[in-house]
Structures are given as structure tokens and as C-alpha cells.
Amino acid sequence: MNIPGKVKIGGFIYEVLEIENLCRDRRNQGESCNNDLTITLEKSLPRPVKESTFIHEIIEQLNDVYMINLEHKQIYDLEAGIYAFIKDNPNVFNEKSIQNTIGIGIKIDDDIAVDDLVDKATNKFVTEFRKTLQDIKK
């Protein structure tokens, strides 16, 4: 799993920071704050724990931004379930799999807009459909 330096949640861009001594000083593996748009993770955590904590903090912010009102235990349960799903199904979020599925030959990165992706896919479909119609006419 990639933990990027920034993520977009509910239209807001959060900076993802890894710091030392978060566990020692604040007794947390991770924290998130919608006031300063940050997600902070304990740098020294083992990779699987850090990834799961990252998911936890994302759910915390989704819960806040969309006013879902999940209880903290529910967030822990979702964290564990989502993390297991991602680890057990690595191709679901694989960039190459997504590109091959939609077949539009573009690189998907952190800044791609959904509208751009839809436009490119639509243009590809229209081009192929026109070709098919022209072949039928012949």
C-alpha cells in the first residue's frame, strides 16, 4: 500500500506526515485534524500497522467531513476490514489493472480529475464506435 504525502478527502487536501515519538508523547499511533488538514502517523510503526493506522485516520476524517456519526469501535472495525480487503485483493486498486480495464492508455496519478478520466474514456468509445459504423457502411 502506498501512503502518499497528500490525500484528498471530501474535497479537502490533507497533508500526510510521519513523525517520531507520537506513540510516546501522545500515546497515539496516528492522529488526524480537519482544522489543519493533516494526518499524522508514528514513523517507527511496522509497515502493516502504519498502513492500517492510515486507513483508520482516513475513516476518522470521512466520518467527520460527511457527518456519519460512527462510533470509535465502528471505525476500528472498518479499519480492520478495509485493510484486510486491500491486502487480500491487491489488484483491486492496482493502477495497471485500472488502465487495462478502461483501456484509455493514460497514467492515473494523485491529481487526475474524474471528469478528465470520463472525457477520455468517452472520446475513446466515440472513436471506436465511429470506426465500427464506418466498417459496417463498407
Burial class (CB in 10 A: 0-12, 13-18, 19+), 40: buried
Would you list the domain boundaries of the chain?
6-93, 106-137
Let me know: does 83 contact 51? Beta carbons within 8 Å. yes
CA distance 99 to 103: 6
pLDDT reported for residue 35: 94
Grade residue 138 by pLDDT with cuts at 50, 70 and 90: low
pLDDT reported for residue 114: 66
DSSP three-state, residue 45: coil
pTM: 0.68
What average pLDDT does the segment 57-86 reach? Answer: 95
What average pLDDT does the segment 25-51 reach? Answer: 94
What average pLDDT does the segment 94-98 reach? Answer: 57
Grade residue 106 by pLDDT with cuts at 50, 70 and 90: low
Q: Which helix (H) or strand (E) holds 111?
A: none
Grade residue 103 by pLDDT with cuts at 50, 70 and 90: low
CA distance 116 to 134: 27
Percent of the chain with pLDDT over 70: 78
* Residue 72 DSSP class: H
pLDDT reported for residue 10: 92
CA distance 138 to 134: 7
**Three-state DSSP string of 20-33:** CCHHHHHCCCEEEE
Whether the predicted pLDDT of 25 surpasses 80: yes
